[in-house]
């Protein structure tokens, strides 16, 4: 399957689509993507921005991806991407919490 061409979208839209992606495909810890479609928070952002969980796309799309991850970190009060991964992978973390954070960051970014 050929990956889709990346689209530069508003960060808030990217975050809302990532939340919906997790709703539809499920949430995973410890991996960006599982063969059954489940994704972590970063994997969801990657999937909706370029159709792949593991690799980034062209420069404009990458900047958009980085901005979405930065919006999540800011919303959660985190400093680095590895903190976002650790937040996702916390034993107590639920899919509902990840979805709520993506939606909250989208609302905060849209202001």
Counting residues of the chain whose pLDDT is more than 70, the rounded percentage is: 83
Helix (H/G/I), strand (E/B), else coil: 8? coil
- Widest pairwise Cα distance in the chain: 37
- Res 4 pLDDT > 80: no
Pairwise CA distance, residues 27 & 19, whole Å: 10
Q: What is the mean pLDDT of residues 78-96?
A: 94
Pick from 96, 107, 110, 105: which is nearest to 45 by CA? 105
Confidence at residue 1, expressed as pLDDT on a 0 to 100 scale: 46
Give me 12's structure tokens.
């808030």
> Higher pLDDT residue, 56 or 86?
86
Residue 30: its pLDDT value, please? 95
Tokens of 101: 């954070």
In the chain the first and final C-alpha atoms are separated, in Å, by 37
Distance CA 72, CA 68 (A): 6
């Amino acid at each position: 399957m050929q990956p889709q061409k990346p689209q530069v979208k508003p960060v808030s839209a990217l975050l809302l689509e990532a939340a919906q992606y997790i709703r539809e495909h499920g949430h995973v810890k410890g991996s960006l993507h599982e063969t059954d479609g489940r994704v972590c928070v970063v994997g969801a952002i990657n999937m909706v921005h370029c159709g792949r969980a593991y690799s980034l796309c062209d420069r404009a799309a990458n900047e958009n991806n980085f901005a979405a991850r930065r919006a999540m970190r800011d919303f959660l009060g985190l400093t680095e991407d590895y903190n976002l991964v650790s937040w996702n992978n916390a034993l107590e973390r639920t899919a509902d919490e990840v979805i709520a954070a993506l939606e909250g960051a989208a609302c905060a970014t849209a202001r």
